Chains A and B, each alone.
Chain A
Amino acid sequence: ETGVTQSPTHLIKTRGQQVTLRCSSQSGHNTVSWYQQALGQGPQFIFQYYREEENGRGNFPPRFSGLQFPNYSSELNVNALELDDSALYLCASSFPDWDLSVGTQYFGPGTRLTVL
């Protein structure tokens, strides 16, 4: 298992509410990426944080926002929840490979969000 942890494990919210999901990166990793995985689909990139700054964003609206803290843990915030936001939210931590600018991403167990 990786050293990446996420909380909570499961969450049930109603439409219009706001939610905060948390991720602790693996020791030594300074980059956290967030993904949304709908049932039966591959993970979709939401955004990435590197050294506390957002570094790249996928096709998600501004109501998806995030933070990274000095210890490299991260939060994903979703405002005005919609039914389609129901999914497994995964975070992945990595550390850049200085030769090829590639950092292998290791996933946390995910938070399953259900919006009613």
Chain B
Amino acid sequence: GENVEQHPSTLSVQEGDSAVIKCTYSDSASNYFPWYKQELGKRPQLIIDIRSNVGEKKDQRIAVTLNKTAKHFSLHITETQPEDSAVYFCAAFIPFRISNFGNEKLTFGTGTRLTIIP
């Protein structure tokens, strides 16, 4: 099955600096890569996602890049703010047979605890 590795496990950056979190996946069949932010005691919230037919996607201060050849994808947060402090999870999605719509499975990384230092 799919295996997703995520690094680093913890990351501290000065407010205003950039943060980068990297993930690798093992199954070349994965075609969708979401990133979730989870604050303490709360649900994972989708912050950005990318599909395998796209190399980069940006949404304000957040960007995700995907290298299908190397099977890795990264989250970039620029101009970090204290409210960016949270645990971030990457995930990879393997689709089942095209005839089985809805049969998707997400495999998550182990998470990165990001701390923004004021």
Contacts and interface: CB of A to CB of B under 8 A. Distances in A.
B15 to A, nearest CB: 25
Interface stretch (A11-19, A43-51, A75-83): A43-51
B44 A43 contact: yes
B61 interface: no
Interface residues of A, number: 33
A48 B109 contact: no
Contact of A55 (B31, B98, B103): B103
A90 B43 CA distance: 8
Contacts, number: 89
Interface in A86-104: 90, 92, 94-96, 98, 100-104
Interface in A27-57: 30-31, 33, 40-45, 48, 50-51, 55-56
Interface residues of B, number: 30
21 contacts: A33-B104, A33-B105, A41-B110, A42-B108, A42-B109, A42-B111, A43-B108, A44-B108, A50-B102, A51-B102, A55-B100, A56-B96, A56-B103, A94-B102, A100-B31, A102-B51, A102-B95, A102-B104, A103-B102, A105-B46, A107-B45
Interface of B: 6, 31-32, 34, 36, 42-46, 49, 51, 89, 91, 93, 95-96, 98, 100-111
